[in-house]
Amino acid sequence: MSHFKENLKTARGSIVFLIGIVLAFGTVFGLEQWTPQKLNNNGVVTATGLINLTDEESIPLREHRELTVTELKMAEIAWTYFENNTNAETGLVNSVDGYTAATLWDTASYLLALLSAYDLEIIDNSKFDSRLKLALDTLAELPLFEGKLPNKVYSTATGSMTTYENQATARGVGWSAIDIGRIMVPFNVLVWQYPEYTPLIDRVLSNWDMRAIVKNAEMMGADVNADGVTLYLQEGRLGYEEYAAKSLVLAGLDLSEAVNYERHFEYVDIDGIPVGTDLRTPDKFDALNFIVSEPYVLDGLEFGWDRHSRSLAYGVYQAQQSRFESTGTLTAVSEDNIDQAPYFVYNTVFADGKAWNAVTEKGEDASEFRTLSSKAALAWYALYDTEYTSKLIDHVGKNYDENKGWYAGIYEATGEVNKALTANTNAIVLESLRYIQFGPIVRIGRAAS
């Protein structure tokens, strides 16, 4: 107990985090009270009533244990990606193997991979410390979009703002509230569990105008249109919205609307499984609503879920298992880079009114590139102890190059390997394997062991 008090005293310097705790607990309490809508057998909302959200015994959660020798090797291979793709000058990591640019989401993935590798003793304290300090020093010096918040993309070689095509831009292209929410996850971990790094986190955040993210208790992103005008738009759809808002709430921001699953929520029936979807359709709200594994597995691996995200995550998982049972096709879908044009595909459980839709970021059909995702397979395996997750891990368990890291997935139509190598895939592999041994990585109010 005295160790915790000592850590808490040290962490007290991070005002932005500690002010948020009261709000965070209030928001979590609110989430626990929410009653989602009930469906009839056709997957249609019929009334308001309780769904069985609290019966954890019906959800086959994996018990935490030490990694096997094989699993530890899998984690070490994932860390190889970061050894190969860290820029020595900035400490930033390439989003894709050899591609010297990264979003804030990619950088958050690297920091979580770094924390996971340290917990699993793949790296020692000296390497952890030097890597972390260099990355945080660079983040503290980043030029900001309109002087407010991090640009959507940066050069990992120089730390300068770029476009998505990795072209230098003095102005920037906007900011992503979702990506900023993602990087607040490792920041929360560091402040609470490694408070000696609190001054470095403070230095980073002291430059960021976090108030610009919030409007009417929702997350706001910034974009630049074809005429060069900055647009401020509500950002986030079901799954991603609540996941990103959780860590921002812990930073003291009022995002009570963003974390409220009920506002735009409905179920659809997919292969006999009720899956939560977002009512904000692209034709009315100018944004696609992808239902994929990623935000739900990250919520589990990092926060341990609340009772609502736990229930919704299990529905997303069950739909994928049900598809396998009815078609014989192993299914673990998420957003993923691919090794050919169009280079990035959302392989979804549901999107744009269709089950098992595979689309580009612009909503164009990409069904020929539907992929079983390595990171989704590893994450579901870490979270659930089932015969199906065992099948998934058997299928992707060697989908890597020992000298480069984990490949993104396996193409469903051909069975060929999708050889895209990314920070996000390898980070989630590391997070998943760390979770098996230690549980969720965010441990607010608990000292580091």
CA dist., res. 330 & res. 410, Å (int):
10
Rounded (10°) angle between helices 307-327 and 387-396: 70
Is the residue at 56 inside a domain?
Answer: no
Q: Quote the number of domains for the chain.
A: 1
Is the residue at 54 inside a domain?
Answer: no
CA dist., res. 328 & res. 408, Å (int):
21
Is the residue at 55 inside a domain?
Answer: no
Paired strand residues for 221? 233
CATH assignment of the domain containing 367: 1.50.10.140
CA dist., res. 195 & res. 35, Å (int):
37
Contact 116, 426 (CB under 8 A): no
Q: How many CA atoms lie within 13 A of 300 on its CB side?
A: 29
Instruction: Tell me the residue ranges of DSSP E strands in 67-119.
Output: 101-103
CA dist., res. 123 & res. 371, Å (int):
32
Is the residue at 39 inside a domain?
Answer: yes
Is the residue at 318 inside a domain?
Answer: yes
Write out the chain's pLDDT in tens, 449 residues.
Answer: 333 334 433 444 443 444 344 344 444 434 444 344 433 334 333 333 223 353 676 899 999 999 999 999 999 999 999 999 999 999 999 999 999 999 999 999 999 999 999 999 999 999 999 999 999 999 999 999 999 999 999 999 999 999 999 999 999 999 999 999 999 999 999 999 999 999 999 999 999 999 999 999 999 999 999 999 999 999 999 999 999 999 999 889 999 999 988 788 889 999 899 999 998 877 666 777 899 999 999 999 999 999 889 999 999 999 999 999 999 999 999 999 999 999 999 999 999 889 999 999 888 999 999 999 999 999 999 999 999 999 999 999 999 999 999 999 999 999 999 999 999 999 999 999 999 999 999 987 544 44
Is the residue at 443 inside a domain?
Answer: no
Is the residue at 444 inside a domain?
Answer: no
Is the residue at 339 inside a domain?
Answer: yes
DSSP alpha helices (H): ranges in 154-269? 177-193, 198-205, 240-249
**Measured over all CA atoms, what is the biggest interatomic distance in the chain, rounded to whole angstroms?**
58
* Non-local CB neighbours of 224 within 8 Å, separated by 6+ positions: 171, 172, 173, 174, 230, 231
Residue 293 three-state SS = coil
Question: Nearest 5°: CA angle at 132, between 126 and 134?
Answer: 100
Domain that holds residue 243: 2-47+62-438
CA 306 to chain CA centroid, Å, is: 16
Contact 427, 109 (CB under 8 A): yes
